[in-house]
Amino acid sequence: MSTEKEYKGGCFCGAVELRVVGKAEAMGYCHCTSCRQWSAGPVNAFTLWPLNAVTISRGADQVGSFQKTANSIRKWCKACGGHLLTEHPGWGLTDVYAASLRDFRFEPMLHANYSETVLRLHDGLPKLKDFPKELGGSGTSVPE
């Protein structure tokens, strides 16, 4: 028996359910144009998990997939259009949108791609120009 914590989440209509286990590797907000266009929102709240920590536990046949760039495979529910997650194979991580998870405590650490922001947030968290160094970015901070 695993003692790892488990969290459930899913889409807008409930046809798709997902499960994540363990601990998120990182959490925060992404301000990039891709996230904004895909989410139709000004900012994306992300939680990053190892690929094998995330399972589609119901409605896998309803999951649509779209890949525009090599490192992002975006998935949503074909029944309701609700967004679920983005796989980042190049990082070995899956971004399960914080809003897709239930009963999960979202603890943001940083803001990524803040140079592209359309919504400045004065929360005192680090604002990175692009991505952290560990994810291939510059790790450079920019003003809030």
Interacting residue ranges for Zn ion, rule: CB under 5 A: 11, 13, 15, 30, 32, 35, 77, 79-80, 82
Sheet holding 54-58: strands in order across?
A: 6-10, 17-21, 54-58
Whose Cβ is closer to Zn ion: residue 79's or residue 110's? 79
Whose Cβ is closer to Zn ion: residue 9's or residue 20's? 9
> Residue type for 36, please?
R
| 8 A C-beta contact, residue 56 and residue 39 | no
In the complex, minimum distance from the CB of residue 4 to Zn ion, in angstroms, rounded to a whole number: 26
Please give the Cα distance from 102 to 64 (Å, whole number): 21
In the complex, minimum distance from the CB of residue 31 to Zn ion, in angstroms, rounded to a whole number: 7
Please name the residue ranges forming H helices in the chain: 33-39
Whose Cβ is closer to Zn ion: residue 4's or residue 19's? 19
In the complex, minimum distance from the CB of residue 77 to Zn ion, in angstroms, rounded to a whole number: 3
